[in-house]
Structure 1
Amino acid sequence: MFDHISDAYAQPALVRLRPGLYGLRFESMKVASALGAVRQLMADGVIEPGDTLVDSSSGVYAYALALACRRYGFSCHIVASPIVDPTLKAQLRLLGATVDQPSQTDDPSQDQAGRVERVKEYVKNNERAHWMRQYHDRVHYHGYTIAARQITDGLAADRITLVGGVGSGASTGGLSTALRQSGVDVEVAGVQPFGSVSFGSQDVEDPEFLIAGLGSGIFFGNIDYSAYRTIHWLDFSYARSGSVELLRDHCVFAGLSSGASYVVADWHATRLGGDERHPVVFVIPDTGHRYVQAVYNESPVVTRDRAPLAIDGPESLRLPWCLTDWEHHGHRFSRPEADPS
């Protein structure tokens, strides 16, 4: 039994899809991240009940932080992406959060940067406000310890390939850190959209890509670049096809980042021959409800029909799917500079 609904959301289910391939399915993954961060910051004396916790979000983290604030007695202020819909805004307000939603610009990366500036301004003008820095503070790694324990308890394997979308870097970073601390040999395959600056694909545009929370247009300090063995870039059509396959073949209703991770995990598991001694686990961060129109409406067509193009530098990046041995070639890909603030 759970003492609070947030604990239920934070605890994933490890689901076997076929021999050697598993999905780590969350109801709302960022709840684990927000809860872990709030608990650690409280323990360290950085925040105390009555403070206002603030951050920018495209939706999932906003809901997670509002839950954590309601549970532990904090006020919550969210600078929301233009894509945050009225349904989520209504939930945030009923949970006691205040919402500031700037208008959309023509450049999504500028939306992201602009929201961060509004967060900084809010904290500057409110004495008891604390910026949670979901993109920059590795305190968000702490929330994934329980999920990592579920993997080690559920799989009798000393070696695991972990596949996950890299947004802020907290989920793949937190899971891989906790798994390594438990003695598991982990190979991490990170998944990115084309156009993200995080791993150097900003010069390759995919106009259809709609994934919020995967990839970035600005520097994210939570990303531990040394943690990744390989990086995969997928376009919208392949991510969408992965989501459709997940539901059609495995009854898992999930979002676009889950679909992209499934495509990559399925490829890795096939190459490993379904070996249960070296299973592949991919992260399913949320359900597919907010992607119904973009992914599941009418009769979606699966277009995945090829393996990734292996590249060793950014000049070879092209749609629909590329991969690189990040451990050996990562130094050739540009990365965004740190925000001095």
Structure 2
Amino acid sequence: MLDHNAVAPPVHEHVTDAVKTPALIRLTHNTVLVRFETLKVYAALGAVRHLVETGVLRPGQTVVDSSSGIYALALAMACHRYGLRCHIVASTTVNDTMRAQLEILGVTVDQMPPSDDLRLDQSRRVARVRELLTRHADMHWMRQYHDPVHHLGYTELADLLRRALPGEALTVVGSVGTGASTGGLTRALRARDPLTRLVGVQPFGSVTFGSERFTDPDAIIAGIGSAIHFDNVHHHLYDRVHWLDFQHAMAATIGLMRDHAVFAGLSTGAAHLVAVWEAARHPDRTHVVIGADTGHRYTERVFTRHREALDPATLAPVEIGSLDQLTPPWAAIDWARRPYGPVLPVRERPREPRKDPVP
């Protein structure tokens, strides 16, 4: 039966407007999945739009950045929209499907050689970007890891959530990664409700919250952790932090599809597992799970191994009180919005970011 009162969907002027809009799926009474085709369109589009409008970028100019995949595609689409050229220094984790899309969009791709070492992969990418900037003075380095301009686009997502979940006390649960999505979204939400909570998810081996002494053979979980320090991670925004190993993330990702028919990436699965744990302990709050991307690039590493997956219902974290108590395979801590600032050697310090406004 036709619903003559149904609102017609909008006709978008560019694919970025369609892709950036997530589907909101209520998984339980107090968990809502924000499912994206590619989350980082918000970051890339918001950043590029701001830089074009303020005259930092001009049509035809080339932007460059390093990426493990979804930011690369998001940036390529933003450049397509605003008439910019794009050069990506790609992680070893970028697959043929992603690379083909980038090349069709006119992106020049430098891909790092195969490596199971996350630190080596990221260090190689940063070195290559610096080499390109030396050779091409007109290139603009987007610096998704360090430039606060990448927080700006998530204000729109915060507005969407406020409209969709009016009056609900929100807890954002998402992978930390570059810090832009969880940080930008939470800042914007706290502008209206300072009690909005933020729970970050990390893999073991990431320096971001001090687990670099651990080694997880499968720890290259794109979008969750890092082997280098990111200025866009604002530690004082986080109320809780969870660390999960690959086996737990895989179990959660398979479980999300089995229980809710959601085909998503590892970072989404890991965030969902954490949200289920937190939601059981805080039933009065709505836990918003950031689903960064679909599961397509994890088909071989995760989904074809579904018979090996652990049962998520049997998994639980060890609660710790300090980082020296951190232990795999799953640990959690009350971070309590405190700062975290290891001193970096001068040679590792990123270039100082511009003082762009951050919501």
- Alignment partner, residue 235 of structure 2: 225
CA distance in 2 between counterparts of 1:213 and 1:228 reads 17
Q: Secondary structure at the match of 2:152?
A: helix
- Alignment partner, residue 15 of structure 2: 5
Distance change >3 Å, CA 131–CA 222, structure 1 → 2: same
Q: Secondary structure at the match of 1:190?
A: strand
RMSD, matched Cα: 1.8
- Alignment partner, residue 280 of structure 1: 287
| Aligned partners of 2:89 and 2:111 also within 8 Å | yes
Q: Does 1:153 align with 2:160?
A: no
Q: Decide which of 235, 256, 268 is 2:245's aligned counterpart.
A: 235
Shift of 1:158: 5.1
Q: Decide which of 309, 333, 336 is 1:327's aligned counterpart.
A: 336
CA distance in 1 between counterparts of 2:194 and 2:349 reads 34
| Aligned partners of 1:157 and 1:279 also within 8 Å | no
Matching residue's letter, 1:293: E
Deviations 1:30-86 (A, max 9, x none): 111100000111122111111101001111111111111111100000011112122
Q: Does 1:291 align with 2:302?
A: no
Q: Secondary structure at the match of 1:247?
A: helix
Q: Where does structure 1 lack aligned partners over 5 or more consecutive residues?
A: none
Which residues in structure 2 correspond to 1:161-180 (within 5 Å)? 161-180=171-190
- Alignment partner, residue 320 of structure 2: 311
- Alignment partner, residue 103 of structure 1: 113
CA distance in 2 between counterparts of 1:214 and 1:132 reads 20
Q: Secondary structure at the match of 1:327?
A: coil
| Aligned partners of 1:66 and 1:92 also within 8 Å | yes
Q: Does 1:130 align with 2:140?
A: yes
Q: Secondary structure at the match of 2:64?
A: strand
Matching residue's letter, 2:25: V
| Aligned partners of 2:235 and 2:337 also within 8 Å | no
Q: Which stretches of structure 1, 4 residues or longer, exceed 6 Å deviation after superposition?
A: none
| Aligned partners of 1:200 and 1:334 also within 8 Å | no
| Aligned partners of 1:199 and 1:334 also within 8 Å | no
CA distance in 1 between counterparts of 2:275 and 2:344 reads 27
Q: Secondary structure at the match of 1:294?
A: coil
| Aligned partners of 1:76 and 1:96 also within 8 Å | yes
Identical pairs, percent: 47
CA distance in 1 between counterparts of 2:343 and 2:74 reads 28
Distance change >3 Å, CA 262–CA 178, structure 1 → 2: same
| Aligned partners of 2:171 and 2:197 also within 8 Å | yes
- Alignment partner, residue 93 of structure 2: 83
CA distance in 1 between counterparts of 2:344 and 2:286 reads 33
| Aligned partners of 2:16 and 2:78 also within 8 Å | yes
| Aligned partners of 1:11 and 1:146 also within 8 Å | no
TM-score for the superposition, normalised by structure 2: 0.89
Matched residue pairs, number? Answer: 337
- Alignment partner, residue 191 of structure 1: 201
Q: Decide which of 9, 25, 28 is 1:15's aligned counterpart.
A: 25
TM-score for the superposition, normalised by structure 1: 0.94
Q: Secondary structure at the match of 1:185?
A: coil
Q: Secondary structure at the match of 2:301?
A: helix
Q: Does 1:302 align with 2:302?
A: no
CA distance in 2 between counterparts of 1:313 and 1:128 reads 46
Shift of 1:118: 1.0
Q: Decide which of 84, 102, 123 is 1:92's aligned counterpart.
A: 102
Matching residue's letter, 1:143: G
Distance change >3 Å, CA 217–CA 298, structure 1 → 2: closer
| Aligned partners of 1:198 and 1:336 also within 8 Å | no
